[in-house]
Structure 1
Amino acid sequence: MKKVITILGILLFLCTTSAKAQEYLQIVSLETDKGATAVFTSAGIADSKKGVETDAIKSLIYTLFFQGVEGVNDGKPLVSKPNEAYTNTFFNNQARYTPYVVSVEESGKSTKVGGRFQGTMRITLRLRQLINDVRKNTHYDAMLAETPKTRFPKPTIIVVPYKKKGESFESKLENDSDYRIAVGAVQKGLESCDIKTIDLQGRIDAMNRRSQYEDNAGAAESNDKQLLMSSGADVYVTVDLMKDYTAQGARVALVMKAYETASGTIWASEDGWTNRFQTTQTEVLCSYAVKDNLSPFLEQIIKNFSQPARVVLQISISGNSTGSLQDACCANGERIVDFIQNWLDRNAHEGDYHIQGIMDESAIFDYVMIPREDKNGFKMTSSKFAKDLNDQLKAQDVSGTVRIDGNTILLMLDL
């Protein structure tokens, strides 16, 4: 009798081991990657047609975790260091994959193979959130830290709350604690990525101390524009906060947009809802939103910051001028318009610019590509570029004044 029990025990152990070591088909491919979400095809096999769908999802997750899928993480497995207590929850009855599955549809009708149903599913995953979850639970970040990273120029950023017309940054921070928390969470996230930030409240306090703020109620827009332009930030980021509280839990979305301070050109945009959590603490929820969305958002900013900027150069003559732009010459005898074009040939990025027209009183270069960096290796801006040109003209006894309006350089000459 003991012998029979022992044999049954061994068989039971083998069956249990076999269940734990269940192998999925792992026939998976990436169709499209949309950033936040991605669409995969994945094959599944089960005793019922409904079971095929579940098996295909688990097969996709298993392949992403332990084998790797071409087009995701350079084809490498997402799980670099085993954490079975975490990964097993995706394959047992806890079904941890559920919040990451957006939709599932049949790629073709399931067929019966050897008494079991087999089919292929098109599965849309919240891939970015899944990867972030894996990173937090399997020491993925530690592996990334060992990989040398390419160095890119980094902008200085100021984070501000989204505001409606007539509102000011100052009143928004004073009257809405949730927005204070959201702005702080994004700023903290940027600083953790080694990005230099300008503190908004600090700038407001400094301007108030210098009495630079206008007192009338209609000055909110001009005050805030003045604050941004004098902040020293290359980029300003607006943060809007949306909240959704239900009996199933709370979630938030941070809508982040990045603009080049000098021109107001939008450089990046990112948003997305967090998963639901059993907390209504805005600080906690915002920290999850930052973890989910900040990395791709910052990548967009740095990519644009690293590119040559495109500006418009408009040249005019003052009302006191006695000569025309077409005929006036520099101290060296060269026509001013020729001097400017020759200077642009040497100093525009790859000599890339276009003249829309030259007249007696004005000239328009409808685009000039300015270099990525100045002579000191810092980010080139439209104001630096304009100053360099104006300095060269002054050296030729041509006086003028420069004004920057967004991405347009306005150069007025006294001839």
Structure 2
Amino acid sequence: MILPSDNWCEQRYFMTEFDNQGTKQKVPNYKQVFQEDAEINQVISKIGSLMIERGFPLKDAEQELKAIEARSAEDNMTSSTTSASSISESPLDKLKNKAKADIIIQIWWKINKTDKGNSVSFTLEAFDAFTSKRIASSTGIGSPNTTDLVPELLQKAVLANIDPFAAQLQKHFDDMFSNGREVIVTVKRWKSWDKNLSTEVNGEEITDYINKWMALNTTKGRFSTSDATENNIRFDQVRIPLFDSNNNALDARQFAKGLQKYLKAAPFNFEVKLMTRGLGEAILVLGEK
């Protein structure tokens, strides 16, 4: 999915400020971008065509946002037939109610006026939506001319630099197919739980069981433990298969559901709550739902 960069949105005042537990934060208002900016759709279309020609199909950001709005409107109109209660949606649900794609490509550009006409400077960056890691980047300045509009100027400038960018993307996909997709898995405990992750079950600590399950279920047993206490274990660089046994795409939530089922079964029989942050982070909390 191609989106304008945060800096591009900030420069054009397409930002929304919100209160995040007392801290003011700004986020891009993509709906306003697509409704009010005359160039963005043409720019995304031009760059999108270059990506499709190189074998990278794209989600349409504007259509995804419209679909989300339609689902939200439907939820707002839905009520219980018995109590007339509306569907419950927490602030966390609303935050996650956004367009999702495996790779987010962000574009920034600026018009330069010269004696020979206008030229365009651009930066194109791709981020893995699961890990927020930058996986590809390209920057350049197009040749000036006096006839082309911004979308054409940008298309020509990007075209001169896109093959190395596409090669970086392909390298990332090749790595995923070979070594699995990278996610984060965190296991915690409720404060009210009468056990902790050091508690022994049949002679072994709960932590040891979890580590063994991770080794058996990750791609090539690849994961790292960045934090481990009696209350919390955090696994980074967890490599999971792209698809499950039924050939369905696998994300952090679906992967962690396997660990959840494991800990809910004998000999543990724990209550386990499963939560997620975006596509790439799953959190299991032991002791209660």
Alignment of 1:336-355 (within 5 A): 336-355=206-225
Asked if 1:320 is matched to 2:192, the reply is yes
- Give the unaligned 5+ runs of structure 1: 1-157, 213-221
| 1:393 aligned partner | 263
Q: Which amino acid aligns with 1:255?
A: T
| 1:370 aligned partner | 239
Alpha-carbon spacing, 1:241–1:225, altered in 2? closer, same or farther (3 Å): farther
- Post-superposition offset of 1:234: 0.3
- SS of the equivalent of 2:112 reads strand
1:306 and 1:261 map into 2 onto residues whose CA distance is 17
Alpha-carbon spacing, 1:280–1:224, altered in 2? closer, same or farther (3 Å): farther
Alpha-carbon spacing, 1:388–1:362, altered in 2? closer, same or farther (3 Å): same
2:220 and 2:63 map into 1 onto residues whose CA distance is 40
- Post-superposition offset of 1:328: 5.2
- Bigger mean CA offset, 231-240 vs 249-258: 249-258
- Bigger mean CA offset, 248-257 vs 403-412: 403-412
1:348 and 1:279 map into 2 onto residues whose CA distance is 54
**Are 1:353 and 1:369, in contact at CA under 8 Å, matched by a contact in 2?**
yes
In angstroms, what is the RMSD of aligned CA positions?
3.1
From 43, 50, 63, the equivalent of 1:189 is: 50
| 2:282 aligned partner | 409
- Post-superposition offset of 1:405: 3.5
Alpha-carbon spacing, 1:235–1:305, altered in 2? closer, same or farther (3 Å): same
| 2:72 aligned partner | 211
1:405 and 1:352 map into 2 onto residues whose CA distance is 21
- Post-superposition offset of 1:378: 6.6
Asked if 1:159 is matched to 2:28, the reply is no
| 2:139 aligned partner | 271
| 1:168 aligned partner | 29
- TM-score under structure 2 length normalisation: 0.72
Deviations 1:75-119 (A, max 9, x none): xxxxxxxxxxxxxxxxxxxxxxxxxxxxxxxxxxxxxxxxxxxxx
Alpha-carbon spacing, 1:353–1:284, altered in 2? closer, same or farther (3 Å): closer
**Are 2:65 and 2:99, in contact at CA under 8 Å, matched by a contact in 1?**
no
**Are 2:127 and 2:134, in contact at CA under 8 Å, matched by a contact in 1?**
yes
From 118, 136, 156, the equivalent of 1:288 is: 156
Alignment of 1:120-139 (within 5 A): none
Q: Percent identity?
A: 19
1:300 and 1:381 map into 2 onto residues whose CA distance is 22
| 1:301 aligned partner | 169
1:280 and 1:223 map into 2 onto residues whose CA distance is 44
| 2:84 aligned partner | none
Mark the structure with the bigger radius of gyration.
1
- SS of the equivalent of 1:374 reads coil
- Give the unaligned 5+ runs of structure 2: 17-27, 74-91
- Post-superposition offset of 1:168: 0.7
- TM-score under structure 1 length normalisation: 0.52
| 1:29 aligned partner | none
